Amino acid sequence: MGIPVVDLRDFLHGDVEKKPAFVQSLGKAYEEVGFVAVKNHGVPDDLITELYKYVQQFFSLPLDKKKKYEKPELAGQRGYTSFGREHAKGSDAPDLKEFFQFGQTVADKDPVQKEYPGNVYVDEVPHFTPTFFKAYRAFEESGRALLRAIALYFGLDENYFTDYIHNGNSILRAIHYPPITQEPKTSIRAEQHEDINLITLLVGASADGLQILTKQNEWVAVTSLPEQIVVNVGDMLQRLTNNKLKSTTHRVVNPPREKWNTSRFSIPFFLHPKSSMSLACLASCIDDKHPKAYPDATAGEYLDERLREIGLKK
């Protein structure tokens, strides 16, 4: 499926016509599809290459070495999470993946620092942690620009989201779907789900498999070109906009049998605000035809609820 493509350069460096055109194109794409491919996104190609290289080195370590970096008390929010621990909301079947999560590094003495656990440093792959830090900052900057455009689409101040996402609770997740070694019980590697956060930025996975559920209730494969990142709407933005922007249902399916012996790697950046941000529906998104669909909640309250639903928090 060819998903809508936008050029972030038009928003950041475009003229008086290109910037508002970008805002409308982005908003329309999110209303109609929920996913968009972004060109000139600001995350350097060589950084992406390095990121995948060190991620593959980490996941190739023996399990006992990887398990050193698993911290169950952190509910999967930092460090390693072993195979089969996470499942989609509403599903008892574990996803066929293991992953590693890297979070916010507060550098300006913001009091929010006390809310975040420290990141987990990997000894066996020395460049792993510093590369994650650089990639985190690059994704954060790209996501900030996209949220500025979304704010304008809803008639808000362009910097509506800026303070909320500064030192926000965003997560950079490296996922490994191991080779399939026996007849699988299901054709799904990661069951259908919606993301929890505001928006998700996904830099090209190492193999096909991502599918989205269209408004016609059909599953279609999603691919992007190497120089693009795919960005989708998450549940927090859906709540804030009272369903005007819909969080897109997506899943990862198994490869064809001839590729069962291959791994799949994927590195999404889940852009979260600070936990104190209110997700109360915007007044401009509520009317007689669209009554308020959600109770008021903060981002922190909603995240806590969802982590319990997917089995990462007790």
Does the pLDDT of residue 306 top 70, yes or no?
Answer: yes
pLDDT band for position 15 (cuts 50, 70, 90): confident
pLDDT band for position 187 (cuts 50, 70, 90): low
Tell me the C-alpha distance between 109 and 27, whole Å. Answer: 35
Ordered domains of the chain (ranges, CATH): 5-309 (2.60.120.330)
Task: Tell me the residue type at 6.
Answer: V
Tell me the C-alpha distance between 257 and 261, whole Å. Answer: 8
Task: Tell me the residue type at 267.
Answer: I
- Three-state DSSP class for residue 169: coil
- Closest to 34 in 3D by CA, of 187, 174, 244: 244
- Closest to 175 in 3D by CA, of 241, 95, 64: 95
pLDDT band for position 85 (cuts 50, 70, 90): low
Q: How large is the average pLDDT for residues 255-284?
A: 91
Average pLDDT in the chain: 89
Angle at 36 between CA 32 and CA 38, to 5 degrees: 150
- Three-state DSSP class for residue 99: strand
Crossing angle between the packed helical segments 18-32 and 128-153, to the nearest 10 degrees = 100
Q: How large is the average pLDDT for residues 99-108?
A: 94
* Residue 117 near residue 49 (C-beta atoms within 8 A): no
- Percent of the chain scored above 90 by pLDDT? 62
Q: How large is the average pLDDT for residues 181-194?
A: 72
Does the pLDDT of residue 26 top 90, yes or no?
Answer: yes
Most confident of 66-80, 199-213, 291-305: 291-305
Does the pLDDT of residue 143 top 80, yes or no?
Answer: yes
Does the pLDDT of residue 298 top 80, yes or no?
Answer: yes
* Residue 306 near residue 196 (C-beta atoms within 8 A): yes
